[in-house]
Structures are given as structure tokens and as C-alpha cells.
């Protein structure tokens, strides 16, 4: 499963890229706002930190303006992936951009039927929001299971990008189901390292090493 970082924080992206875990980055207007920087400037910097897809979201709601915004965004770098909402105009834009060879991430997916539409429109990625689904009394992981089944039934090439990931269990369940990608805040990705027995083992090894009085360097 590919790991994308859901952030616009350059320091976090740089740190994750150094681990070899980073396969791409997703951004949205809220994350860009949080960075306090200019949208195009941030996306351009992120694109230099990873060879993988970097999702940059349009903010228009009508197809013609979405296309104008997409034209600007995809000129930033070759690895820009245009992010569009799962609306009729969003899928019109998805179809047009996909036909031109541009990567498209269809976002704000909350049903398997929506995911089916996005795949038929040629989306590179579909982004079902599991955390927000859970927040509203639905089973986010059941949604991923349904999309995986439908896509496998018809050999759709659209990749399932599990979004709104809140904790490591979401990552584990997504991997078990067979999602292609998950995108999560850097804090969630870093939490995957954590285990009390790992910490305990390191502490024990260091205590024994100190008793030897040796150094490696």
C-alpha cells in the first residue's frame, strides 16, 4: 500500500521523505490555509520533495472554471494530480483531464455508487473519507470493502485512496482490505512506529550496552 502524507507542512514532508515511506502528498484548501502561505508556492515546493503524485485541489464549482484552474495547477510540475470534488461538474472535469493524460484525484467520496461513477469518469484516484464516515454513524471501512469489490469486479484501474485517516487502526484495516493508497496526517504515519515492546526492548539493550563500557564510534 502506498503512503501519502495529508499535509502542506514542508518540514513534515521532508522528514517523511527521508524515511523512504513517502509515496505522495495530498493537500486541500484547509491545509494550505493552515500553512499560511501562497497555494501555488506551497504545491511547487512539495512537488520538489517527492516524485509521487501531489494532489492540488481546484476551488471552483463549475466545469469551465475548474478546467481553467486545473490548467494553472498542472503547469506547476509533472507530478501534480488535480483534485476535484465528486459532483457532476467535478466528474466532467475528471473525464476531460484524464483524457488529456493528467492525473485526477476525485475527493469527498462517501458512497460506493459515487466511487463507481468516478472510476467510469477515468479517475486516477478515488478518495473515500473513512474518518468522516465514522463520525456520522457509518462504517468507513465497509465503504472501502464495497469499493474494492466493485473495482475488482470490473477491473477498474482507479486506485482507492483511503482518506480522512484518523488513527493507525484505519491504516491497518485499509491494508487488510487491499486499498491501493492511504493518506494520513504525519502524526498518524509516525504513530505506526510506536509499540511499547519496541520501546522496552531498546531500553533493555541500551542498559546492557552501557554495562559493557564500550563505544562503537
Domain ranges of the chain: 2-212
Give the containing element (helix H, strand E) for 142. helix 140-154
Q: What was the pLDDT predicted at 140? A: 96
What per-residue confidence (pLDDT) applies to 106?
Answer: 98
In 3D space, the residue among 161, 88, 94, 153 whose CA is nearest the CA of residue 123 turns out to be 94
Options 34, 48, 83, 211, the catalytic residue: 83
Residue 159: CA count within 13 A, CB half-sphere: 18
pLDDT at 29: 87
CATH topology of domain 2-212: TIM Barrel (3.20.20)
Please indicate whether residue 83 is annotated as part of the active site.
Answer: yes
Residues of the chain with pLDDT under 70: none
Q: For position 139, what pLDDT does the model report?
A: 95
pLDDT score at 169: 97
Which pLDDT tens digit goes with each residue over 120-166? 999 999 999 999 999 999 999 999 999 999 999 999 999 999 999 99
Amino acid at each position: 500500500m502506498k503512503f501519502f502524507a495529508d499535509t502542506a507542512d514542508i518540514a513534515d514532508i521532508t522528514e517523511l521523505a527521508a524515511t523512504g515511506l513517502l509515496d505522495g502528498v495530498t493537500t486541500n484548501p484547509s491545509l494550505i490555509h493552515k500553512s499560511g502561505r501562497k497555494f501555488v508556492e506551497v504545491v511547487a515546493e512539495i512537488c520538489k520533495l517527492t516524485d509521487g503524485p501531489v494532489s492540488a485541489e481546484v476551488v471552483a464549482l463549475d466545469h469551465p472554471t475548474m478546467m481553467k484552474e486545473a490548467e494553472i495547477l498542472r503547469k506547476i510540475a509533472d507530478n501534480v494530480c488535480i483534485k476535484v470534488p465528486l459532483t457532476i461538474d467535478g466528474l466532467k472535469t475528471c473525464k476531460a483531464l484524464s483524457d488529456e493524460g493528467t492525473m485526477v484525484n476525485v475527493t469527498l467520496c462517501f458512497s460506493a455508487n459515487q466511487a463507481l461513477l468516478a472510476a467510469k469518469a477515468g479517475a486516477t484516484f478515488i478518495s473515500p473519507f473513512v474518518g468522516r464516515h465514522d463520525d456520522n454513524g457509518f462504517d468507513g471501512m465497509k465503504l472501502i470493502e464495497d469499493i474494492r469489490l466493485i473495482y475488482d469486479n470490473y477491473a477498474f484501474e482507479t486506485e482507492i485512496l483511503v482518506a480522512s485517516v484518523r488513527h493507525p487502526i484505519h491504516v491497518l484495516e485499509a491494508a487488510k482490505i487491499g486499498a491501493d493508497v492511504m493518506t494520513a496526517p504525519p502524526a498518524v504515519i509516525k504513530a505506526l512506529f510506536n509499540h511499547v515492546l519496541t520501546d522496552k526492548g531498546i531500553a533493555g539493550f541500551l542498559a546492557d550496552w552501557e554495562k559493557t563500557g564500550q563505544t562503537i564510534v
